[in-house]
Amino acid sequence: MTSEEKFKKVVSHAKEYGFVFQSSEIYDGLSAVYDYGQNGTELKNNIKDYWWKAMVQLNDNIVGIDSSILMHPTIWKASGHVDAFNDPLIDNKDSKKRYRADVLIEDFIAKTESKVKKEILKAKKKFGDKFDKQQFLETNNRVVHYQNKIKSIHNDFSKALENDDLIGMKKIIDDLEIACPVSGSKNWTEIKQFNLMFGTKLGASSESAMDLYLRPETAQGIFVNFLNVQKTGRLKIPFGIAQIGKAFRNEIVARQFIFRMREFEQMEMQFFIKPGTQKEWYIKWKEDRMKWHLSLGLGKENYRFHDHEKLAHYADAACDIEFNFPFGFKELEGIHSRTDFDLSNHEKFSSKKLKYFDSNDNESYIPYVLETSIGVDRMFLAVFSNSLCDEKLEDGSSRTVLKLPAILAPVKATILPLLKKDGLPEIAKGLVEKLKTEYRVSYDEKDAIGRRYRRQDALGTPFCITIDHQSKEDNTFTLRERDSMIQERLNFDELLKKIDSAVSIKSWI
Ligand code: GAP
């Protein structure tokens, strides 16, 4: 299966099994806005719970808050978002389509890179065992030409990005003769900066209404509550404030399903530290966050760090944790050393003191901040796409199985009476009643048992519990494990123990 086919399968599976739907679908949808279905909501809630427990419950010095989406508009002036939260946009005069200029260039680079890959594949086929990749890369004229071209574009592009040089960026597009994917023409406008924040109004009458923004990140709700939380919680530095909530960005290039959305959710944590200690905390949080990701068992090879060359307006160091999505390695989480940029600016713009008194060192200062920020929806896509697979079975048949980490699975176990008679449904429903106070469980009596197993495999349910005639005699059940498909006969206590150890946080973090 090519990566494109795999991605299509991810999108269609998410819809078919009640995980993710296009928003407003019956009205032909709203671009880059999605709704989570009955199973997607459970999976999303479990992801948020796993993050919250790791951050707040397991760290004595991190607390959680829930701030509002609407905030005073000056907050976005102070944070720099009004002036600097922009994307460089360019319009094609013939198709009237709008693009992100940086994405047009990145796509051109990706296309050239795939040409190199194609040449390598062709040569591999031609030369077989004798193929020497390194030698080929260094000596094949066409490949050398492509590689030099990529290097030179990278060079010019990084310089233009670093200097916010829109004219330089336009020159790259013109020089490379990049054409509009819709009209095929190279008839471009100049590049303009476009602010990504959504505006809205507060107040009933148009004269008195106040212009507001929907928050583009949850972080600012933490900064403006920093002293409230510190004082009421009697917290001492170093300490953290965590938050999960919606954020909104008017993304121009919104594609790749739930990877880039206009309304999405973030899980952010701001860790307040003494100025000068940011380097060691940056290293510590990089390690901690990678450990959290690896604990879910999606494969070490699917993660990598990517250090930012161009730092955001608030950071003195920053990196991404990238994940190997079906369309390649892309940002999943950001880790930023935000200095005292936000708190200092809020102090300036609000004229309220935001200093912290450090009783250990007998001094007051504005703390520095280390931020970890991950999109819930991107995490969902990472887990979902990594877990979805087609398997060939020993008997020649095949199955689609969603090998979700059991702790994140929407339903932990489903109870299946072998037959719809002989008192088996009653025993099965009794078992549902006993289990449902502890775990999310389901009941299914329709179709042959094999088809019911397949249905649960596709939903990612880690356990199927079958009730048969023997259950009536000795109160034992058959437990089938999703990934190995191994079945064992267990009594109720053994069953509980098995499910508990698979879905308890102690077994994961
Ligand atoms: N407070 C810092 C901040 O917001 P960011 O790198 O812009 O930093 C953090 O965003 C994370 O939020 C990203 O790593 C990504 O997981 C998620 N994210 C950002 N924009 C998104 C979008 N349009 N759709 C889905 N997730 C997004």
Question: Rounded to the nearest whole angstrom, what is the distance from the C-alpha of residue 190 to the centroid of ligand 1?
Answer: 27
Q: Which atom of ligand 1 is nearest the CA belonging to 219?
A: 1
Q: Which two tokens stand for residue 141?
A: 């004229």
Let me know the angle formed at the C-alpha of 196 by 193 and 202, rounded to the nearest 5 degrees.
Answer: 125
Interatomic CA distance for residues 444 and 457, integer angstroms:
13
pLDDT recorded at residue 311: 82
Residues 208-212, mean pLDDT to the nearest whole number: 89
Q: Ligand 1: which residues within 6 Å by Cβ? A: 217, 219, 249, 251, 260-261, 264, 266, 268, 331-334, 371, 373-375, 377-378
pLDDT of residue 169: 96
For residue 332, how far is its CA from the centre of ligand 1 (angstroms)? 8
Ligand 1 center–CA 252 separation, angstroms: 14
Whether 418 has a pLDDT exceeding 80, the answer reads yes
Q: Measuring from atom 6 of ligand 1, which residue has the nearest CA?
A: 334
Q: Is the pLDDT of residue 207 over 90?
A: no
DSSP-assigned states of every residue in 302-322: GEEEEE-SS--TT-SEEEEEE
First to last CA, the chain: 33
Q: In the numeric block, which tokens belong to residue 131? A: 């193929």
Q: Which of 270, 161, 264, 247 is nearest to 197 (CA)?
A: 247
Q: Give the ligand 1 atom nearest the CA of 379.
A: 16
pTM attached to this predicted model: 0.91
Mean pLDDT of 149-168: 91
Confidence at residue 451, expressed as pLDDT on a 0 to 100 scale: 96
Residues in the chain: 509
At residue 242, the pLDDT reads 98
Percent of the chain with pLDDT over 70: 100
Residue 313: pLDDT band (50, 70, 90) is confident
How far does residue 247's CA lie from ligand 1's centre (Å)? Answer: 9
Both tokens assigned to 337: 């050393």
What pLDDT is recorded for position 467?
97
Going from the N-terminus, what domains does the chain have, and what CATH number goes with each? Answer: 1-67+211-390 (3.30.930.10), 86-195 (3.30.40.230), 411-507 (3.40.50.800)
Q: What tens digit of pLDDT does each residue of 432-489 get?
A: 999 999 999 999 999 999 999 999 999 999 999 999 999 999 999 999 999 999 999 9
- Give the bridge partners for 465, in sequence order: 415, 479
Read off the pLDDT band of 2 (50, 70, 90). confident
Rounded CA separation 276/98 (Å): 44
Residue closest by Cα to atom 21 of ligand 1: 260
Q: Are 53 and 283 in contact, with CB atoms under 8 Å apart?
A: no
Going from the Cα of 354 to the center of ligand 1, the distance in angstroms, rounded, reads 26
Neighbour-count burial for 280-289, b at 16+ CB within 10 Å, e otherwise: ebbeebbeeb
Atom of ligand 1 nearest to the CA of 266: 12
pLDDT digits (tens, 9 = 90+) for 231-275: 999 999 999 999 999 999 999 877 799 999 999 999 999 999 999
Give the residue, out of 34, 220, 257, 266, with the most ligand 1 atoms within 8 A of its beta carbon, to mutate for a pocket test.
Answer: 266
pLDDT, tens digit, for every residue of 327-375? 999 999 999 999 999 999 999 999 999 999 999 999 999 999 999 999 9
Confidence band, pLDDT 50/70/90 cuts, at residue 384: very high
Ligand 1 pocket, mutate which of 217, 224, 293 (most atoms under 8 A from CB)? 217
Q: Rounded to the nearest whole angstrom, what is the distance from the C-alpha of residue 127 to the centroid of ligand 1?
A: 45
Cα gap 412→407, rounded to integer Å: 8
| pLDDT mean over 489-501 | 96
Which residue, judged by its Cα, is nearest atom 26 of ligand 1? 375
Q: Whose CA is nearest to atom 17 of ligand 1?
A: 375
pLDDT at 193: 94
Asked if 118 contacts 185 with a C-beta cutoff of 8 angstroms, the reply is no
| Atom 18 in ligand 1: residue holding the nearest Cα | 375
How many CB atoms lie under 10 A from the CB of residue 203? 11
Distances (CA, A) of 58 to 232, 262, 280: 21, 32, 21
Q: How far is the CA of 251 from the centre of ligand 1 (A)?
A: 11
pLDDT score recorded for residue 5: 92
Q: What is the 3-state secondary structure (H, E, C) of 72-126?
A: CCHHHHHCCHHHHCEEEEEEECCCCCEEEHHHHHHHHHHHHHHHHHHHHHHHHHH
Q: What is the pLDDT of residues 104-135, one digit of tens each?
A: 999 999 899 999 999 999 999 999 999 999 99
Q: How far is the CA of 411 from the centre of ligand 1 (A)?
A: 28
Cα–Cα dist 315/84, whole Å: 13
Residue 381 C-alpha to ligand 1 middle, in angstroms?
14
Residues 237, 61: contact at Cβ < 8 Å? no
Q: What is the mean pLDDT of the chain?
A: 95
Quick check: 206 pLDDT over 80? Answer: no
In degrees rounded to 5, what are phi and psi of residue 292? Answer: -60, -45
Confidence (pLDDT) at 162? 81
What's residue 204's pLDDT? 80
